[in-house]
Amino acid sequence: MKTIKAENPAIVSEIRVALGDEVANGTVLLVTELMKMQHEIRAGESGVIKALHVSPGDELRGGEPLVSFEPAEVSAQVSQDEQGQRLELSEFEARMALLADSGRAKAVAKRHQSGGRTARENIEDLFDPGSFTEYGALAVAAQRTKRPLADLQARTQGDGIICGIGTVQGRPVAVMAVDYMVIAGTQGYNHHRKMDRLIERAGRDNLPIVLFAEGGGGRPNDYDVAPLMVAGLNVPSFRHFAAHRGPKIGIAAGLCFAGNAALFGLCNVRIATQNSCIGMGGPAMIEGGGLGVVQAHEIGPSEVQKANGVIDLLRADEAGAVAAAKALLALPHSDEADQAATPEEALRSVVPADRTRAYDMRQALDALADPGSFLELRRDFGHGMITGFIRIKGQAFGVLANNPLHIGGAIDAPAADKGARFLQLCDAWGLPVVTLCDTPGFMVGPEIEETGQVAHISRLFLAGAHFSQPLVTVILRKAYGLGAMAMAGGGFDRPHYCCAWPTGEVGAMGLEGAVKLGQRDRLAAMSDPIEREAEYQRLVAELYQNGSALNAASLLEFDAVIDPAQTREEISRVVATVGPSSCSDRYVDAW
């Protein structure tokens, strides 16, 4: 016979067996209580009860015998309750089923019918399998005083936003994905609380945040908190998201208005789908402001927002947008293998032999970059400047280049704004930058000055002066005046390395203009137009020879003249010698 003894002081609360009972291994024999906590005493093996040494209410000091039993094979089994069939687990499973897309079949079908994906489908596509941890999944809209809780749980899952952290190609990343299937993606009280928690959590480790922005702004009918506030203008989400120093990547699909548009605008890189409509005010706000009745699709369609610079990357659908986000998140990490580029001799033929002939700078970028690595930003805005990301021998770079196909590569206000913001972005993300210079300088003229050219151009100098990452400037052809200086971060002595191709030419201003201004009286004095033209061409050629890359480098105007075919090697070698740098603490301007 075996006896079970008390291990600790306690009071016998309940006895579950009687003399002669058969008990299976694991059966609860009796219950004791200590400090208001109950403890079950279970059989360690099967047998028959032979003696009960205590009664309910008995005080135990520890070591006293409780139950004696004779070990034996018995027919009794542990009850379902004792095996752990728990009501709360069933409740939990039911609640979690409501959160899954499979629990919202009608809403999901409607979403798919419109060509969209659900928030959870986007998250699954973004993150490495099995890496996502969700925060605040069980939240519901703050409307318990007006709506049954069961209804809120079934129709306001997560209060319309999914927040969490996982890894994207091994990099820890946070996400806030608005769930448009919940009250049209409007922002409620708990919605904002979840955002604030996620932003704070991401801020601890400076994690990138990916925002899937869709839907409207603040929700006016969160009745639970209505008596406690009037306008709710002390919500910290916008301020905290704006202040977050980790990379912020926004994806807008479908309708994105008001609060969601404001958050989208705060992102460092803004990706949108072809069907997106983005605006600071939706139809209701426009009508409420007395500005007429408009349809949602008339407000900020993607064709408008890509041309005005709001959209950095336009993609056909959410799958393409997520793929772009993953490419951006991978930028700090070098490829494991060095991919062979286009034959580097191709760089030798990029610039035409005729110095007056335009060419496609994007061909130079394609030849410079590892195959398929060029990711261009804001292509449809600021046409005079090309900005984007490339890889050279696996190393990620930002690239800033003039566009000779647009006003000869001259820099106007939109191009300056575009370039300045891009330098801020690369600085904040800790990426080195390569600038490809082929510009006659800043655009000039009375009409140009009406655009605020002076202030816009100054932004390019300011961004270059404060840029703290490695900078390499390559002069492909023209490098004239202040425009060329701005392309080099403020001057040819500013980059870590400033070099030119043999086709390079430099000067305080364009050669033709310099001759026309400097030799105006002399040329005007020539009555023979043929003689005047010949003298003009001779003077231009003389200035060109003086400002040629080889002559300018011999006078130390910049660091070197290089073989175009060696450009990749030169850039890679220079950046390898630069000391460690860190991401800038400066914010990235929304414009």
Q: 523 falls in which pLDDT band (50, 70, 90)? A: confident
Domains 2-83 and 90-329 share a fold: no
Tens-place pLDDT, residues 212-261? 999 988 888 888 887 777 677 778 999 999 999 989 999 999 999 999 99
86, pLDDT greater than 90:
no
Tens-place pLDDT, residues 355-364? 889 999 999 9
pLDDT of res. 530: 82
336, pLDDT greater than 50:
no
pLDDT of res. 326: 97
pLDDT mean over 299-317: 97
To the nearest whole percent, how much of the chain has pLDDT over 70? 95
Tally Cβ neighbours within 10 Å of residue 228.
8
pLDDT of res. 282: 87
Superfamily of domain covering 344-504+548-576:
2-enoyl-CoA Hydratase; Chain A, domain 1 (3.90.226.10)
In whole angstroms, give the CA distance from residue 425 to residue 540.
Answer: 40
State the chain's mean pLDDT as an integer. Answer: 91
- Give the residue extent of every domain in the chain: 2-83, 90-329, 344-504+548-576, 509-547
pTM of the model: 0.86
Decide yes or no: CATH 1.10.3720.10 for domain 2-83. no
Own/partner contacts of 314-317, CB < 8 Å, gap of 24 or more, are 314/271, 314/272, 314/273, 314/274, 314/380, 315/271, 315/272, 315/273, 315/274, 316/273, 316/274, 317/115, 317/253, 317/273, 317/274, 317/275
Rounded to the nearest angstrom, the gap between the alpha carbon of residue 293 and the centroid of all alpha carbons in its chain is 34
Tens-place pLDDT, residues 415-435? 999 999 999 999 999 999 999
In whole angstroms, give the CA distance from residue 554 to residue 144.
Answer: 78
Of the listed ranges 30-34, 85-89, 216-220, 559-563, the least confidently predicted one is 85-89
Tally Cβ neighbours within 10 Å of residue 230.
6
pLDDT of res. 81: 57
In whole angstroms, give the CA distance from residue 545 to residue 71.
Answer: 108
In whole angstroms, give the CA distance from residue 76 to residue 29.
Answer: 13
87, pLDDT greater than 80:
no
Q: How far apart are the first and last CA of the chain?
A: 84
- 285 burial level (CB within 10 Å; 0-12, 13-18, 19+): middle
Higher pLDDT, 248 or 346: 248
Q: 287 falls in which pLDDT band (50, 70, 90)? A: confident
The answer to whether 378 and 418 have CB atoms below 8 angstroms apart is: yes
Fold topology of 90-329: 2-enoyl-CoA Hydratase; Chain A, domain 1 (3.90.226)
Of the listed ranges 183-187, 298-302, 388-392, 510-514, the least confidently predicted one is 510-514
442 forms beta bridges with 411
pLDDT of res. 286: 86
pLDDT of res. 349: 93
In whole angstroms, give the CA distance from residue 116 to residue 265.
Answer: 22
307, pLDDT greater than 50:
yes
528, pLDDT greater than 70:
yes
